Amino acid sequence: MKNDLRARREQEDESQADLAAAVDVTRQSINAIERGRYDPSLELAFKLARHYDCAIEDIFEPTLGD
Amino acid sequence: MTETSHPVQHRIARRRRHKRLMFGCLIVGIAGLTIGTYVDQYLLGVLIYWSGFFGMLGVWQFSPVTLYDERDTAIERKASDYTLGVFAFILVLGAPGGITLEASGVLALPEAFDGAMWTLVAVFTVFGVIYTVLRFRA
């Protein structure tokens, strides 16, 4: 699954630690999501979408084979 | 430094502190057991070990800070999956292979082999029971 989390975070001038604290996960998890190495749960995806005031599909985009 | 940095840094430092406390409890417990065994104070050693273990569980379960998140859980789940896969492979090939080799007189396997195979049977029996219960509840 592709995502534009890093771009959104940088646009908001947030660090990975800031975002991690806002959605109550570790900084390593945010890093893994940004690198596409971990697909978040639906619950975390909703938290991220709520944090950036957008829909989940605005952040995440399924790639072929997902 | 951003406005959010202070609470974030505080939260990270708190998480680190709680994790250190958690592992500290376990290390004290293991050290207590090791030293207790070494100086023939077995009961004291075991009591310190249990205290350390339950201390670790207490910090883990009741910490107000999120020590582990869903990615940690996903990694643990994957690691458990691979571990069970390795043991399943050993059991499926090892048990009949060992019985056949022993019955045909090719090899005399030590008693530890039987013990290991029965232990694996027990592990997969427990896994099967838990899996069945979870499947019915899902």
Of B2, B66, B71, the CB nearest to A24: B66
CATH topology of domain A2-53: 434 Repressor (Amino-terminal Domain) (1.10.260)
Low-confidence ranges of chain B (pLDDT < 70): 1-6
Which token pair is B49?
């070990």
CA distances from A3 to A7, A11, B42 (A): 9, 14, 55
Q: List chain A domain ranges.
A: 2-53
Please tell me whether the overall predicted TM-score, pTM, comes out greater than 0.80 for this model. Answer: no
Q: Which of residues 41-60 of A touch B (CB under 8 A)?
A: 41, 43-44
pLDDT of residue B71: 95
Angle between helices A16-23 and A42-51 (to 10 degrees): 120
What percent of chain B has pLDDT above 90?
72
pLDDT of residue B15: 84
Q: List chain B domain ranges.
A: 5-62, 70-137
Which residues of chain A are within 8 Å of residue B4 when distances are taken between CB atoms?
14, 18, 21
* Interface confidence (ipTM) of the complex: 0.86
Q: How far is A64 from chain B (nearest CA, A)?
A: 22
Q: Using an 8 Å Cβ cutoff, are B13 and A27 in contact?
A: no
Q: Where are the alpha helices (H) located in chain B, listed in sequence order?
A: 5-38, 42-62, 70-103, 111-137
The residue assigned the tokens 């406390």 is B21
